[in-house]
Structure 1
Amino acid sequence: MSKIEKVLATGKTHTIAHGQKGNLDIQLSSPGSAKPAHVFANALPHPTAEQLFAGAWSACYTAAVGLVANDLNVVLPADMSVDIEVDLGQTGPAYYLQARLTLRVPGIAPDIAKTLAHTADQICPYSKATRGNIDVALSVITE
């Protein structure tokens, strides 16, 4: 697996669990451009591929955390969240992805939080699909 030497763009998501409703706020853009790449008169703007991937992965991973918590009889805090960042990068002429997942479970004991994070990573289909294909860092915050 190759390491990214230069990050070109990063798609970031912050997902809150427990059925809280929200809006998906997205725009269509190209790596390296702060402005939307296209303007649609009658359509909402769309995200980069990295944002879409991070968003889908965070929804799946958040659900996996809930399943693991249920299996372990752990009550997740109301402010539990998942942050995922997906980088598009380059090493020489080749393009690659890498990702960082952060599970925030305030008030949960660190050992239980790590078990939740790593077990959810083992069952989440997006995590399975990326395992061994891209670099992924998984971290836990309990404060």
Structure 2
Amino acid sequence: MTIQHIDVAYTAVATASNGRDGRVSSDDGNLDVVVNPPKAMGGSGAGTNPEQLFAAGYSACFQGALGVVARRAKADITGSTVTAAVSIGKTEAGGFGLEVAITATIPNVDRATAQSLVEQAHQVCPYSNATRGNIEVALSVA
């Protein structure tokens, strides 16, 4: 696999303390959250968790990519939503891995157009490009 170099437009910086049972904050102060493992993984579930943060970032980024491809196609995606469901579990090698299910709801286009837009957005989205070949990402249209 070749590492692709990019023309950097922005760099986000966040710092974690105490891992999955601590706090995460951004350098600009806009993000400052308590993180705890979810109850399903033996935690208190009192704060957010890394999978929720990843799902939030992926869904927002994918929605932005959907907007880019919709403008190119002159498609109306008004009222659309993108949901990212991020799952964590043990891998066969004994570590942990992620899976993502992306579901887009695009009310103003037919199903075939919606599916095409979602597939195109998956090629544009930086999160999709970063995860491609590394984790399973399932795409669907609601």
Give TM-score, length-normalised by structure 2.
0.69
Q: Which amino acid aligns with 1:90?
A: K
The corresponding residue for 1:59 is 60
Q: CA offset at residue 122 of structure 1?
A: 0.1
Q: Identity over aligned residues, as a percent?
A: 38
Does residue 20 of structure 2 align to residue 29 of structure 1?
no
Higher mean displacement: 105-114 or 49-58: 105-114
User: 1:27 and 1:65, CA in 2 relative to 1: closer, same or farther beyond 3 A?
Assistant: same
Alpha-carbon RMSD across the aligned residues, in angstroms, is 2.0
Q: Which amino acid aligns with 1:135?
A: E
Q: CA offset at residue 90 of structure 1?
A: 0.5
The corresponding residue for 2:85 is 85
The corresponding residue for 1:18 is none
Unaligned runs of 5+ residues in structure 2 are: 1-30
Q: CA offset at residue 95 of structure 1?
A: 1.0
How far apart, in 1, do the equivalents of 2:73 and 2:133 lie? 27
Does residue 126 of structure 2 align to residue 117 of structure 1?
no
Q: CA offset at residue 34 of structure 1?
A: 5.8
Q: Is the 8 Å Cα contact of residues 27 and 36 (structure 1) preserved in structure 2?
A: no
How far apart, in 1, do the equivalents of 2:75 and 2:116 lie? 11
Q: Which amino acid aligns with 2:88?
A: L
Deviations 1:83-108 (A, max 9, x none): 10111100342211111000111241
Q: CA offset at residue 36 of structure 1?
A: 3.9
Q: CA offset at residue 118 of structure 1?
A: 0.4
Moved over 4 A (4+): none
Does residue 71 of structure 2 align to residue 70 of structure 1?
yes
SS of aligned partner of 2:35:
coil
Give TM-score, length-normalised by structure 1.
0.68
Q: Which amino acid aligns with 1:35?
A: S
Higher RCO (CA-CA < 8 Å; seq separation 6+)? 1
Q: Is the 8 Å Cα contact of residues 85 and 101 (structure 2) preserved in structure 1?
A: yes
The corresponding residue for 1:11 is none
